[in-house]
Amino acid sequence: MIHKKSREDIKRMRHAGHIVALVHKEMKRVIEPGISTKELDSIAYGIIRQNKAQPTFLGYNGFPANICTSINHQVVHGIPAEDVILKEGDIVSVDVGATYAGLVGDSAWTYAVGKIDAELQRLMNATEEALFSAIKQMREGHVLDDVSGAVELTAQREKLGIVRQYGGHGVGRRMHEDPFLFNYKVGDKTVLKQGYAIAIEPMLNLGADEVAVEADNWTVSTVDKKASAHFEHSVLVTDSEPLVLTQLIPDGLT
Ligand code: MG
Ligand code: MG
């Protein structure tokens, strides 16, 4: 069942989303060669707690950290660690969830570490573009397949692999609510209605589609070890333009 968000839910989700966006703003500033993913986790935790929110991922199905950090061929769910040090030429996907007054914001971004090669930049640009083309489809009366299809079209045009086993999801009082959102068309004609909030999260690969879970039982990596990028926003269907919930509120929080 898909929950429509009330006015109060939306207010809290924008608040949660603002906090997530504050974390990403800081990630963009601090990510450079030499920093550990554990340091990124600590910084994120500090910002989330300072703003009276909780890190949604901590303890979720037993996840042992505040954020997910996935490097290069790692797709999602990488665990921050002191001995994982970012180096020049890496890309790192940082996934952040914050719960504020019972409602969740969920957003991921892939960052370049120093100078990266052109193929990695192309992968990042295309995955970000896939996200924003999908966001444009989040309008009342459209169907879920329209959103999925926008991601798929961008991936196909750029000849990128599409992660099949993971995708977007409804978001609100829980991080993962109905519906599941594939990053490729599956024929889902579920109609989008005002008040639906969905986390759209294309995960695209420089190589093939296939991914597998590593020995730590969390980190998902590409099987061919080629790089993967991940961009995500939580987005609300309104009576007009889609509203990105995981962005900075211009005048700050009230
Ligand atoms: Mg996420
Ligand atoms: Mg998500």
Closest ligand to C-alpha of residue 180 is 2
Give the ligand with the smallest distance to the CA of 20: 1
Q: Which pLDDT tens digit goes with each residue over 215-254?
A: 999 999 999 999 999 999 999 999 999 999 999 998 877 6
Distance 214 CA to ligand 2 centre (A): 20
Note the pLDDT of residue 250: 86
Q: Is residue 251 part of a domain?
A: no
Length of the chain equals: 254
Residue 22 lies in a domain: yes
- So what's the pLDDT on residue 254? 65
Helix/strand/coil percent split, the chain, to 5: 30, 25, 45
Residue 206 domain boundaries: 7-244
Does some domain include residue 1? no
The pLDDT, as a whole number, for residue 251 is 82
What is the widest separation between alpha-carbon atoms in the chain?
Answer: 48
Scan for tokens 């590409």, then name that residue: 222
Q: Ligand 2 centre and the CA of 232: distance in Å?
A: 7
Q: How far is CA 176 from the centre of its chain?
A: 12
- Residue 169 is assigned to a structural domain of this protein: yes
CATH number of the domain within which 216 lies: 3.90.230.10
The tokens 């990124």 sit on which residue?
A: 40
Whether 254 is in a domain gets the answer no
Regions in the chain scoring below 70 on pLDDT? 254
Q: How many domains does the chain have?
A: 1
Joined together, the tokens standing for residue 57 give 């991922």
Residues with CB under 5 Å of ion ligand 2 are: 106, 199
